[in-house]
Chains A and B, each alone.
Chain A
Amino acid sequence: MPARRQVLAIGGGVFAALGRPRALWADPVESVEMKGTARGERIWFAPVGLAVMPGTTVRFTNRDPGNSHTSTAYHPDILDRQLRIPPDAAPWDSDFLLPGESFEVTLTVPGVYDYYCMPHEMAGMVGRIVVGRPGDPGWQGAAPDSADLEPDALAGFPPVDEILAKGRILKEEAR
């Protein structure tokens, strides 16, 4: 039985490697929303943790009517921050999204991607996306804690195991 499950899990990768006919297998798109309470006491990414297959496009949309947010990868090329995405992956920065606006990024390199919201990093508005699974070629695990991030931001990343087990993790206020 475990062997069978493993074969199924690998199956997706084989299909991806062979190249799927686009008409039959649209590339997957996942959604992450930026949200906040009406008075801005709390703000968050929903989900805060997300597991996707390599090649998935993640669409960030600002659903907070009174605030603007960004989705910005932790990367030395953007504001000289700690590298917290796989070294071979391209960093992204949505710039400020006004309410209703969205931004897409396609993630192909397997590994753990940590990102933040520029105006709300201090308030702990961060997120984590896990692309593929440990053992995938080129997999890069979670970055270590660093003094580059405030404790409130470091505390915001769900554990990789939990993201892989649940697929998506919502913060309490987002439920």
Chain B
Amino acid sequence: MKTALLVAAATFLLPVGSALAHEEGALQMSPPGAPYIQVSDALPLPEFIPGLGTLFVDPATLPAGPFLAYDHDGRLSATIYMTPLDDLRNGTSYDGLGVGSHTVSSVDIYYNAGHPGVEAPHAHVVLFHDEDAKSRLAE
């Protein structure tokens, strides 16, 4: 029943995009429910990626995301975006992206040469949701 409500809430709010965080409650613990799927279930990647944690994403939002990153205890620790450099250079912009939580303690941005799912060289933009999140996602 609870799951059904979460799914309904997610479906209802999805078209709003940037309003994603308004349903914060539903996303704070893993799994976030539909339309999010666990990345390691769909792609050949480790379940817990050092530095990124356990990722969930709505496939319709690829490649940018938001990717919701959970720690080993299933707590939402970061929201991550993946933006291919060539797409940016060629004029694509990624606007109005959702966030998993309104609380952001720090942001890391760095280059990634590619991985299954987002194979083109891209930037990782990582919004950490609390001071300790980075260390919990480290390994």
- Chain B CB within 10 Å, residue with most, of A39, A98, A99: A39
Chain A residues within 8 Å of B45, by CB = 67-68, 98
Does chain B have a CB within 8 A of A120? yes
Does chain B have a CB within 8 A of A163? no
10 A-B pairs closest in CB distance: A96-B44, A123-B113, A40-B112, A68-B44, A66-B49, A119-B119, A66-B50, A119-B116, A41-B111, A67-B115
Contact B110 A39 (CB under 8 A): yes
Which one of B50, B52, B116 lies within 8 Å of A96 (CB-CB)? Answer: B116
Smallest CB gap from B118: residue in A:
A119
- Contact bitstring A36-53, B, C-beta under 8 A = 1, else 0: 101111110000000000
Q: When chains A and B are docked, how far (Å) is the Cα of A59 from the Cα of B49? A: 24
Provide 11 A-B residue pairs closer than 8 Å at the C-beta atoms, listed in order of the A residue.
A36-B113, A40-B112, A40-B113, A42-B113, A66-B49, A66-B115, A68-B45, A68-B116, A98-B45, A119-B114, A122-B120
> A interface, how many residues as a size bin?
20 to 34
Prevailing SS type, chain B contact patch: loop
Smallest CB gap from A123: residue in B:
B113
Smallest CB gap from B138: residue in A:
A38
Interface residues in A1-54 by Cβ distance below 8 A to B read: 36, 38-43
Which one of B46, B114, B124 lies within 8 Å of A65 (CB-CB)? Answer: B46
